[in-house]
Amino acid sequence: MPKGSDIFLQNVSKIVVFLVLAFALYLFFTGHGSPGGGFIAGLMSAGALLLLALAYDIETVRKVVPFDFKLITAIGLLIALGTGTGALLFGQPFLKHAFGHFDLPLLGDTELHTALIFDLGVYLAVVGVTMTILLTIGEDR
Amino acid sequence: MATIVEWISVLLALAGAVFCAISAFGLIRFPDVYMRSHAATKSAALGVLFILGGAFLYFWAVDGAVDARLLLAIVFVFLTSPVAGHLNGRSAYRSGVKMWKGSVRDDFKDVLEKAGTSAPDAAFEKEKPKLP
């Protein structure tokens, strides 16, 4: 990529990518009580990476996020399946979720729910699938 | 107190709507892509910023909730709308869209000619990154 050919887009997307990723993180954690969740957070993260791919090129995205996105999809599905089968270990039906209140060092009294882990699986699967589609279409081969 | 802030937010939302309407009129009335992009980018962005600011003030005063998402949206629109306008105009120029016939000045053409790429598409083709 030649330097200075798209200097506005490149410099602004450097900032905007972090804004979008932060908002995706917010949507991911707020999903229980207000609109949001793993699906939309995954789509927004993939959108941030797509913006990076538009401003720079696909090689840059591969360098910034050096993971195989097909593997990320598989890991996400395994996590979602793991939260489902984890309930079986406690003698509960499949996909039975549990929650509890914990005293975390900085956050204080926090309600932690196993649905968040399931949502993490959804998030990883959505990011993986979307980025695989985008990169496969984008590459000229 | 809350009434004053409600009035301010009403005025902000109204001003934003008026700015957006002016932007739409500009989109219809202006003769070429560059002027239309000028109208669509600036006044529409300002209108959206005013409306978002009014909504933020309203929920802050009435509900007592500081909605960080609205502040983030203000920053986001403020950052991205000019860049989108820049990219629109640039890609229009590079693909050879003519300016309005009353235009008197074209500095970008001189720069492109000095770089030896007077044809609109040639410069882009040379800079185009090679995909793997």
Question: How far apart are the C-alpha atoms of A139 and A117, rounded to whole Å?
Answer: 33
Tokens of A136: 């496969």
Tell me the C-alpha distance between A128 and A109, whole Å.
33
Q: State ipTM.
A: 0.76
Residues near B7 by beta carbon (within 8 Å), at least 6 away in sequence = none
Q: Is residue A1 part of a domain?
A: no
- Average of per-residue pLDDT across A32-40: 90
Task: Provide the CB-side half-sphere exposure for A107 (13 A, CA).
Answer: 8
Does any domain span residue A73? yes
- What local confidence, expressed as pLDDT, does residue B130 receive? 54
What is the average per-residue pLDDT within B87-99? 87
Residue A20 to chain B, least CA–CA distance (Å):
9
When scoring B59, B93, B131 by the number of chain A Cβ atoms within 10 A, the one with the most, hence best to mutate, is B131
Query: Which pLDDT band holds residue A51 (cuts at 50, 70, 90)?
Result: very high
Q: Are B47 and B16 in contact (CB under 8 A)?
A: yes
Res A1: pLDDT:
44
Counting the structural domains of chain A, the total is 1
pLDDT at residue number B117: 60
Average pLDDT, chain B: 85
Phi, psi for A122 (deg, rounded to 5): -60, -45
Structure tokens belonging to residue A115? 């649905």
Q: Which domain holds residue A86?
A: 7-139
Asked whether the beta carbons of residue B131 and residue A139 sit closer than 8 angstroms, the reply is yes
Interface contact A34, partner B, CB < 8 A: no
Residue A49: CB atoms within 10 Å: 22
Q: CA of A19 to nearest chain B CA: how many angstroms apart?
A: 8
Distance from CA of A140 to the nearest CA of B (A): 7
Inside any domain, residue A16: yes
Contact B131 A140 (CB under 8 A): yes
Given a contact cutoff of 8 angstroms between Cβ atoms, the answer to whether A84 and A1 are in contact is: no
Are the C-beta atoms of A125 and A76 separated by less than 8 Å? yes
pTM of the model: 0.81
Give me the pLDDT at residue B129, please. 54
pLDDT at A108: 78
Read out DSSP for B59-82?
Answer: HHHHT----HHHHHHHHHHHHHHH
When pLDDT is averaged across residues A96-124 and rounded to a whole number, the result is: 86
